[in-house]
Structure 1
Amino acid sequence: MEYLSTLLVAIVALEHLYILVLEMFLWTKPRTRKIFGIAPENVAITKKMAANQGLYNGFLAVGLLWSLLHPEPFFALQLKIFFLSCVLVAALYGGFSVKKNILLIQGLPALLALVSLFLV
């Protein structure tokens, strides 16, 4: 089970690194616009906001990666719980205020990773 929880935490971290890339560097690309449902006429006015959001997603990813690399098991677990909880809260807020599928795309992996930590 420990391998599964490590894998799930890594998946959530990689997902947020991917979101960072989309929001900070690929915001104007057609594929990114389609993923986020952004109309072409809104890309320019939302570019800085998206980059800011991407930076926050990067912080979440780095925190999760830190939790995987921390040498002390107790602190590593605390970091995992904290950063996965942050992802879950952000997914809940985004799912209820922006798009429902955020609950599935970001919330479900974080929830599964969090639950797996308590089953170890």
Structure 2
Amino acid sequence: MWKQVENAIEKGNAGETEIYGAAWQLIFDSWLYIFGYYKESEGSIFSHLADLTREMDAPPLRIAHCIRDLAYGDESRIDDLVSMVHSEDPQYREIFETCLWRSTSKEEIKTREKK
């Protein structure tokens, strides 16, 4: 599956499934690095995929790249991740709500009403 995702992106025919698959692989790469599977980003088995997808504008990939950059020590990306989590863009919002990183609109309204 990993190579299929990479090949689809290389050929320019990646759909939503491949985009999310690539994002998952980049986050998995972050875990591998954090847990010491390799010590330098150059050792990453996903470095080619990261290069292929770095400039793609799909929210899942933007989030995954941000998390990966943070995992590799790029603290300048903290504000980017916070902005994405708080974004009102429906694509970002849906991802973070689904991952339970952000309350739903209804939950946010209830919280404001309690104050």
**TM-score bracket, shorter-length normalisation:** 0.3 to 0.5
Higher-helix-fraction structure: 1
Taking structure 1 as the reference length, what is the TM-score of the superposition? Answer: 0.33
Taking structure 2 as the reference length, what is the TM-score of the superposition? Answer: 0.34
Higher relative contact order (CA closer than 8 Å, sequence separation 6+):
1
